[in-house]
Structures are given as structure tokens and as C-alpha cells.
């Protein structure tokens, strides 16, 4: 069964550039605004996500990136606007239905006295009816191997490092088998090697399973390397929306207030700050 599941995952992967339909919309955020008490955090946000793509949400601290992500799965209720998933209003969906469709990894996760294996198995909860099936176990074991967590699977999550726990949380979201992954700073607690490793796995899963992913990110160069499209926020609004071919120095300077050069290295853009 393990071999069959691995075959199911890899059957659509060709190793080519990610394929997504630019005309099909999985998630649509239309005119969303949000307030904390009397403070405006988001104002008239309009953005959509296509099947099979990675969308990176970027911008300085405090512009509303994490808040927008939480509005995308109804953790937060917008003051105005509508969020639809596969043409269904999230407000008309119950919590379990949303959990089947959306996997969410917050920037900060609370640990508990639970093993790594059981913590990841919780990701199957939306699909479990009476008891855990053999198929559920197979999917958990496969994702544990994919994220190189075999040696940790019987350890308690409150005994492992922050970076290791970040990988556990990613596994738990992916094993839900959602249509959409929402990742809030997925590499924030990881060293450089693990950052590249984890983003490569996410990129491969997106390509293999035609999954959609929205990530908030601070590292411009990692975003440019792994994402397909970019939304750059400023003062609670979307200042720019572009893809890898159209991002430019002026966009980054406008959003971050710093002069940069964008060079090409191995076919990828690399952002380099210019000392004043």
C-alpha cells in the first residue's frame, strides 16, 4: 500500500515547470477588509489563487500578511468582502468541510504532550469517520519519510527543536490532502539548508498533486526562487501583484523603502540591497 500511495503522488509529476491554469480560480478574495477593534488592518483586498501554483504574500512587518491568511480560511471574519473556495462562500461551509479543503500552518504553533507520529496523524481527522484506517496510517508514514522525520516519530513534540516542529506542522497540514495550503512564514524557524529542503518539497507536492499554496514570506530571494506569483502589501493594501518576470527594483523599493538591484543567477532573479 505504501508503494501504491507513493505511485499515486508521483504519477502526475514530470519534473517540468509547474503547470497551472491561469483562468481557473480555486480561492477568490474579493473586497476583504478587516479591523482589530477600531484599527484598520486590511482594506479592500482582492486576490485570487489558481490551482497548481504558489502565491507568495510579501511586505514589511505589520502590513497584514498573517491577518489576510487567517481571513482566507475563516479563522478571522472579515468586516466586509467575501472569500470563496471552489465558488463556495466560506461562510456557508462548516469547519470540517473547510478542514478537508484547506491546510493551515500558523507562524507560531503550540506544542503538546503528543508524539510526532500522533501529531501528524491528527491531520487525517477531517477524513476519519469511525476509526483510523490502514490508508490513514500509510499516508502518515509516507509523509514522515518525505520530510525526513523517521527518527523523530516517537519523540514528543515538546522535546524537539522549533525547526523540527515546524516540519511536523507542515506534515500535518499536507497529510490532510487539502486543495489549498496556507503557510505563514513556513521557513522562519529553519536553518538555510532546511529552508531550501522544505521549499523544494512544497514545490514538488504542489507540482505533483496540482495543489495550491499561499505563503507569507520575508525572504525575497527564496520567494522568487520557489513561488509563481507575488502579492506585495503596504499599509494594509495590495500595492503590487506580479509574477517572476515582471517584478522589478521599483516595486521592491516602493514596498520596502530600500534601493535594490535585481540580478540574474542561473536563470533566477536575485535581489541585492544597495548601500546608500
DSSP secondary structure letters along 124-162: GGGG-SSS--HHHHHHHHHHHHHTT-GGGTTSBGGGS-H
Res 82 pLDDT > 70: yes
Q: Going by DSSP bridges, is the β-strand pair 39-49/27-36 parallel, antiparallel, or unpaired?
A: antiparallel
Q: Give the pLDDT band of residue 227 (cuts 50, 70, 90).
A: very high
Who has greater pLDDT, 127 or 259? Answer: 259
- Assess if residue 107 is contained within a domain: yes
**Please, which pLDDT band fits residue 88 given cuts at 50, 70 and 90?**
very high
Give residue 204's pLDDT. 87
For residue 229, give the CATH number of its domain.
3.40.50.300
Report if residue 267 sits inside a domain.
no
The verdict on residue 91 lying in a domain is yes
Q: Confirm whether 194 is domain-assigned.
A: yes
| 31 vs 19, more confident | 31
Structural domain includes residue 153: yes
For the chain, what percent of residues have pLDDT higher than 70?
Answer: 90
Confirm whether 256 is domain-assigned. Answer: no
Of the pLDDT bands very low, low, confident and very high (cuts 50, 70, 90), residue 7 is very low
User: How does pLDDT run across 49-67, given as a tens digit for each residue?
Assistant: 999 999 999 999 999 999 9
Task: Give the total number of structural domains in the chain.
Answer: 1
Confidence (pLDDT) at 6: 40
Q: In this predicted model, what pLDDT tens digit does every residue of 164-205 receive, in sequence order?
A: 888 898 899 999 989 999 999 988 878 888 889 889 888 988
Residue range 93-99: average pLDDT?
Answer: 89
Mean pLDDT on 85-90? 93
> What is the structure's pLDDT at 257?
93
pLDDT surpassing 80 at residue 232: yes
Range(s) of the domain holding residue 173: 2-248
What CA dihedral angle connects 52, 57, 58 and 62, to 10 degrees? Answer: -160
Question: Tell me, what's the pLDDT at 166?
Answer: 84
Q: Quickly state the pLDDT bin for 22 (edges 50, 70, 90).
A: low
Does pLDDT of 9 surpass 60? no
Please indicate, yes or no, if residue 275 is contained in any of the structural domains: no
Residue 15: its pLDDT value, please? 37
- Does this model's pTM top 0.75? My answer is yes
The pLDDT value given to residue 210: 85
In a domain, 273, yes or no: no
- Over 50: is that where the pLDDT of 111 sits? yes
Residue 8 confidence (pLDDT) above 70: no
The answer to whether 120 and 170 are in contact (CB under 8 A) is: no
Beta strand residue intervals within 59-120, DSSP E:
80-85, 88-89, 102-105
Amino acid at each position: 500500500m505504501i508503494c501504491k500511495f507513493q505511485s499515486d503522488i508521483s504519477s502526475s509529476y514530470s519534473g517540468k515547470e509547474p503547470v497551472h491554469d491561469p483562468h481557473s480560480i480555486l480561492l477568490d478574495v474579493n473586497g476583504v477588509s478587516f479591523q482589530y477593534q477600531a484599527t484598520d488592518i486590511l482594506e479592500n483586498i482582492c486576490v485570487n489563487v489558481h490551482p497548481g501554483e504558489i502565491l507568495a504574500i510579501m511586505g514589511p512587518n505589520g502590513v497584514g500578511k498573517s491577518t489576510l491568511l487567517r481571513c482566507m480560511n475563516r479563522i478571522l471574519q472579515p468586516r466586509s468582502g467575501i472569500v470563496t473556495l471552489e465558488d463556495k462562500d466560506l461562510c456557508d461551509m462548516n469547519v470540517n468541510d473547510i478542514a478537508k479543503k484547506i491546510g493551515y500552518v500558523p507562524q507560531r504553533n503550540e506544542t503538546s504532550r503528543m508524539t510526532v507520529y500522533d501529531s501528524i496523524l491528527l491531520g487525517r481527522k477531517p477524513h476519519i469517520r469511525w476509526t483510523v484506517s490502514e490508508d490513514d496510517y500509510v499516508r502518515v508514514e509516507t509523509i514522515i519519510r518525505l520530510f525526513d522525520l523517521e527518527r523523530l516519530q516517537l519523540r514528543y513534540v515538546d522535546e524537539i527543536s522549533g525547526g523540527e516542529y515546524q516540519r511536523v506542522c507542515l506534515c500535518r497540514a499536507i497529510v490532510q490532502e487539502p486543495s489549498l495550503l496556507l503557510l505563514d512564514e513556513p521557513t522562519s524557524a529553519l536553518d538555510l539548508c532546511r529552508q531550501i529542503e522544505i521549499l523544494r518539497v512544497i514545490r514538488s507536492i504542489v507540482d505533483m498533486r496540482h495543489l495550491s499554496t499561499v505563503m507569507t514570506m520575508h525572504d525575497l530571494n527564496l520567494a522568487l526562487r520557489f513561488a509563481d506569483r507575488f502579492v506585495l502589501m503596504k499599509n494594509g493594501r495590495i500595492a503590487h501583484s506580479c509574477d517572476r518576470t515582471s517584478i522589478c527594483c521599483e516595486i521592491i523599493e516602493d514596498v520596502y523603502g530600500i534601493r535594490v538591484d535585481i540580478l540574474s543567477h542561473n536563470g533566477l532573479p536575485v535581489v541585492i540591497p544597495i548601500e546608500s
